[in-house]
Chains A and B, each alone.
Chain A
Amino acid sequence: MRVLIVEDEVRLANNIAEALRERCGFAVDCAEDGAEGAALTEYQHYDLLLLDLMLPGLDGLSIVHRVRKRKDMTPILILTARDERANVVELLNAGADDYLTKPFDLGELLARAKALIRRGKGVSHPVLTVGRISLNTVEQTVRCAGELIDLSPTEYRLFEYLIFRPRAIVSARELLEHLYDYNWEHHSNVIEAHISNLRKKLRAVGEETSIATIRGRGYRLEAPEKQL
């Protein structure tokens, strides 16, 4: 999952980014001003937008308007130092999904971020299952019939992205865009290597669920029909 933080207080942005990377395994980009943030949202790489309200260049509310105007459904979490009711109502009406007032609890922010991403992908429970496999987004663990599968952080992130969209074809480009931030060199063969490792680990526990490669189009998480 990839998150964009638009926050002019650099120390705060870095703290949030660090926590999201560490605890959720998300790829995180930071923008210091509103205009830059709004430009980044146009790529639609993000699974969540975290916006400060008072920003130089373009304020958070205007970014919400822009994003929603082009029918972008990406969940938006607003960080605000102002908690006046009128402000909050205006924000939510403009299309923001949730808000947190500063100073906030980092743990709460992480939980809300994860919940918003889940909701954005049409899932309400933090544990997702395909076949005998279950993925716990809170613990960041994958189990097969209760037995833990040891995955590297990148493998976990890949699997997490795929399990949110079972049976859909996900291109290598999309995976790159949603799993890595801008500091990463983009090479699609990196994805191929991680997918292959993931397949081996799933096979090792005797799971029928597999990741198919659709030539020239991408990857697909496939499970035996009756078990889905």
Chain B
Amino acid sequence: MRKISLTRQLIAGVLLAELLCAASFSGLALAHEMHGRRRAFDVMLRGRADSVLGAVQDAEDPEDNVAVDPTELVLPNQDAYEVLSPSGRVLGHSPASSPDLLAALGASAKPGYFSFKVKEAYYRALRLNGVRIIDRDDNGGIRRPVTVLYAAPTHDLWHEAVEAVQFYVVAGVVLLAITGLALVWFLRRRLSPLQELAAIAGRVSARSWEFVPPGDVLRTSELAPIALSIEGLLKGLRQAFERQRQLTGDAAHELKTSIAVLKSSLQLLTLSPRTAGQYEAGLAGLLTDTERMEDLATRMLALARLEEAPVESNESSDLPSILRNVAERLRPLANLKQVALEVTADATRKVALPADDAEVLCSNLIMNALQHSLPQGRVSATVQSHNGATELRVKDEGEGIPEAALPHVFDRFYRADRSRSRNSGGAGLGLSICKAIADRSNGAIRIQSALDQGTEVTVTLPEN
């Protein structure tokens, strides 16, 4: 693909405009000059015609005619004149003029100025009707009307006009060249922030996220929005990459730690000979470790599955009945922890969730609430309709979540207090799974918490 250069386009555009400007200016100047010179030429024609008229004299012949005496006239050689009597008879003409020229001159019948062309030469001419008074005396003399035709070539007129305008044309071209060069320099200089921006943006890669737009770019009103949006975009991308890397790292950490526990437990058992009782205790511990690892793997896979595939549109489940079942299953655990588990979900409400997802959602939320409850506490789970959607609320009266930790509770592997959560068995995936389930069915999940008062998780699901 051919690249389009802004600089070149701008320079070409400005130079073209300047050229048009200079050309029209020169044209106008030429037209103005021509107009002035033509008027002067006409005045000159008139003057010369008058002097021809003045040269009309009595011919001293029997018919009492008049004639032109060329000896009295000092006129340019290339000019032509003809003097006609009212009857059309030629009284005299310029001696050096060719017959063609005289014929063309005599062709005009109207008085006034006119132009014609003879043998590639242009002429301007005047037909002047005048009266010549001969033998002037006290009675006034004899009035002899004559017509004077006078023509002069105009090629000098054109040359003179062009010469006069030439200065402007040359000056225009010189100015054009100077401004063109100045423009190139200026544009290069002013467009350097654009090149800097391109260079800096070009250095950005998945390994190097450094993008600091220079001051020049930020001070340019056209470039600042581009630079800022690139900066924002890169920041977002970088955070996404960081999150992904963090996530992979965390997953690896969890898995490796689980394996380390398992391996060290086994190696400890084989370090020295043990009694049957020690082996039994060791094996029981190993079984617990394996179950925890299994749970971690199951949850990680569940999360991967939830985030990968979109929900089938026709799948739906009855949330209240699932919640009641899950609560009944978890009641022994609640009793063990001396926590009252209350469920308010009577009506049938279909939600756009596969049944097993709905079950995971309910059990994760209730398990979480139970784990964070203190003895004699209370956990309540309710399903109700709210603004055309179904709301599942699970509330505990536990120790709550610190405000700083709230935005992260849905992050995978996040634990507000890692040591305690680890001992209670979670890998920090429960709420991430709940969020993935809610997101997958176009629902929403939010959490409210106050320290030492408790936590409430609300899941809003579209009704089916």
A92 at the interface (CB under 8 A from B): no
Stretch at the interface among B135-143, B257-265, B312-320, B322-330: B257-265
- Closest CB of chain A to B266's CB: distance in Å? 9
Residues of A within 8 A of B259 (CB): 102-103
Q: Is the CB of B422 within 8 A of A12?
A: no
- Closest CB of chain A to B387's CB: distance in Å? 40
CA distance A103 to B252 in the complex (A): 11
Stretch at the interface among A17-25, A60-68, A126-134, A169-177: A17-25
A33 at the interface (CB under 8 A from B): yes
A10-B422, A12-B261, A56-B417 known; A105-B253 Cβ under 8 A: no
A19-B267, A19-B268, A54-B253 known; A8-B260 Cβ under 8 A: no
A82 at the interface (CB under 8 A from B): yes
Mark interface residues in A1-38 (1 if CB within 8 Å of B CB, else 0).
Answer: 00000001111100110110011000000001100000
- Closest CB of chain A to B345's CB: distance in Å? 36
Interface centre among A15, A22, A32 (most CB of B within 10 A): A15
B423 at the interface (CB under 8 A from A): yes
Residues of A within 8 A of B267 (CB): 15, 19, 105-107
Interface of B (DSSP majority class): helix
- Closest CB of chain A to B428's CB: distance in Å? 11
Inter-chain CB contacts under 8 Å: number: 74
Cβ contact of B257, chosen from A16, A23, A57, A102, cutoff 8 A: A102
- Closest CB of chain B to A9's CB: distance in Å? 5
A19-B264, A102-B260 known; A11-B419 Cβ under 8 A: no
Residues of A within 8 A of B285 (CB): 11
Interface centre among A11, A18, A22, A55 (most CB of B within 10 A): A11
Interface centre among A56, A79, A81, A82 (most CB of B within 10 A): A81
Residues of A within 8 A of B264 (CB): 12, 15-16, 19, 103-104, 106
Cβ contact of A33, chosen from B252, B256, B272, B419, cutoff 8 A: B419
B155 at the interface (CB under 8 A from A): no
CA distance A153 to B243 in the complex (A): 50
CA distance A9 to B420 in the complex (A): 10
A12 and chain B: residue at smallest CB distance: B261
Q: Is the CB of A102 within 8 A of B265?
A: no
CA distance A16 to B264 in the complex (A): 7
Mark interface residues in B266-284 (1 if CB within 8 Å of A CB, else 0).
Answer: 0110011000000000000
A8-B422, A56-B419 known; A23-B260 Cβ under 8 A: no
Q: Is the CB of B268 within 8 A of A106?
A: yes
CA distance A55 to B415 in the complex (A): 11
CA distance A106 to B272 in the complex (A): 13
A105 and chain B: residue at smallest CB distance: B267
Q: Is the CB of A22 within 8 A of B272?
A: yes
CA distance A105 to B259 in the complex (A): 11
CA distance A11 to B263 in the complex (A): 11
Residues of B within 8 A of A101 (CB): 256
B305 at the interface (CB under 8 A from A): no
Q: Is the CB of A11 within 8 A of B253?
A: no
CA distance A107 to B262 in the complex (A): 14
CA distance A55 to B252 in the complex (A): 15
Q: Is the CB of A9 within 8 A of B422?
A: yes
B408 at the interface (CB under 8 A from A): no
Q: Could you list some 5 contacts between A and B, CB below 8 A?
A: A8-B418, A12-B257, A56-B417, A81-B260, A103-B256
Q: Give 20 new A-B contacts, CB below 8 A, not counting A82-B249, A103-B256.
A: A9-B260, A10-B422, A11-B261, A11-B265, A11-B285, A12-B257, A19-B271, A33-B418, A54-B253, A56-B417, A81-B256, A102-B257, A102-B259, A102-B260, A103-B262, A104-B260, A106-B263, A106-B268, A106-B271, A107-B267
Binding site for A on B (CB under 8 A): 249, 252-253, 256-257, 259-265, 267-268, 271-272, 285, 289, 415, 417-419, 422-423
Give the 5 A-B residue pairs with the shortest CB-CB distance, closest first. A56-B418, A106-B267, A102-B260, A103-B260, A81-B256
